[in-house]
């Protein structure tokens, strides 16, 4: 399952799975079209250095994205990703927590 789904109509989407193309979709022209980011198969994360001692990692929970692929005119292809900055959350690993004795 890919992270992008192909928009086919306003009410349905078809999944683009690059590993399971059938013979008819192996040409570059077959991937032209509009796609939307599939949030159920996508994770957008970040890493920041804290106090020059450790890295803080996290992820964003609210985002959306779309891509338009034009194989006849690649310069006309576009990608748009919107991330709600307030949806970011730091992830604390067990190894980063202080040990108690």
Q: Is residue 20 part of a domain?
A: yes
- pTM equals 0.58
Domain of 45, in residue numbers: 4-88
Q: In what order do the strands lie in the sheet with 13-15?
A: 13-15, 4-7, 33-37, 63-69, 78-83
Q: Is residue 100 part of a domain?
A: no
Q: Is residue 76 part of a domain?
A: yes
Q: Is residue 50 part of a domain?
A: yes
pLDDT class of 48 with cuts at 50, 70, 90: confident
Q: Is residue 99 part of a domain?
A: no
Q: Is residue 80 part of a domain?
A: yes
Tell me the per-residue pLDDT of 66-97, one tens digit each, with 9 for 90 and over.
999 998 899 999 999 999 988 888 876 544 44
* Long-range contacts (CB closer than 8 Å, 24 or more residues apart) made by 43-47: 44/81, 44/83, 46/88
Q: Is residue 78 part of a domain?
A: yes
**Count of structural domains, the chain:** 1
Which one has a higher pLDDT value, 10 or 44? 44
Q: Is residue 51 part of a domain?
A: yes
């Amino acid at each position: 399952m890919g992270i992008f789904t192909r928009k086919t109509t306003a009410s349905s989407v078809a999944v683009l799975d690059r590993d399971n193309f059938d013979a008819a979709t192996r040409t570059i022209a077959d991937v032209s079209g509009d796609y939307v980011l599939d949030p159920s198969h996508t994770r957008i994360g970040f890493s920041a250095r804290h106090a020059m001692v450790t890295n803080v990692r996290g992820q964003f929970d609210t985002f959306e994205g779309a891509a338009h692929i034009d194989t006849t005119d690649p310069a006309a292809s576009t990608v748009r990703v919107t991330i709600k900055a307030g949806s970011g959350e730091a992830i604390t690993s067990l190894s980063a927590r202080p040990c108690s004795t």
